Structure 1
Amino acid sequence: MSDNRLTAGDTAPEFTATTDQGTFSLADQRGKHVILYFYPAAMTPGCTTEACDFRDSLDALQAKGYEVVGISKDTPEKLAEFRESEGLTFTLVSDGDKAIQEAYGAWGEKLNYGKTVVGSIRSTVVVDPEGKVELALYNVKATGHVARVRRELGVDA
């Protein structure tokens, strides 16, 4: 498994990356809570479930001051297709070289159908307004994950 896993209180690694709609920089988010969620691939069943759960929870999360950012190794073009097909209204970051996933401990060995493979580890890291890790969850399941994040952050359903 990745040895870069973050825990609450760690400084969140800075990054600027391409999105399907321009660029995103974590430094520009100072003063806000940011939910960074890492997923393996756009338009796959589990990732679609998770993205739609975040989409459907976005108003409640934003009402409590949280922004949502999805990060995967997909190209900006694939992310645009994902946004369009699922009506996603939050930022989607392209991490083609996997540098962001590696910095956040969301890339490495994982079990996939009983086999050890190297790839994206479904994870969520919440960054506080000062750029520190507020919450870090690794190896999460797509189904029910957003509800867990909301519970952990005290965002009512």
Structure 2
Amino acid sequence: MTDSTPADETSFGTLYRDHRSWLEGWLSRRLGDAWEAADLAQDTFLRVLAAHPGQTLPSLREPRAYLLTVGKRLLINHYKRRSLERAYLEALANLPEALAPSPEQRWILLEALQALDELLDGLPRAVRRAFLWAQLEGVDYATIAERLQVSERTVKRYMVKAYAHCLLVAL
């Protein structure tokens, strides 16, 4: 609990009314799609509301900068998800029709890929690659070391780092 006075607080409704159109416009210019921009703007305000339960927020000196930070993170996640979907659909296109998953299986796999991507977010690129090669493709450490042009000992350190990261995120 904080000892804030009403003058130090901002109504969520006021923040939404004053800045929704501006945020939607900013997102629309980046996405090129007003509908997607409206969805991401809504998600931005939902994140703000979830971070500050109740109808009042701490006084924001620069509310647009705050909204922009949250909105940019959601925009990055949006692009990452779109990229994952595109890569997955390209991989599916190369499968024989008999092996292609059903629409429901595709959706489940896309959700799992998104969750894996979020889980590994923040790891250095080499660590992510080593972990994915080992876990998804069953590549041995010697081959990973060769691909990354590092020692096998370094690959082992990468794997320890990746496992530790996964455990910390899971907690």
The answer to whether the superposition gives a TM-score over 0.5 is no
Q: TM-score, normalised by structure 2?
A: 0.26
| Structure with bigger gyration radius | 2
Q: TM-score, normalised by structure 1?
A: 0.28
Greater relative contact order (CA < 8 Å, ≥ 6 in sequence): 1
Q: Which has the higher strand share?
A: 1
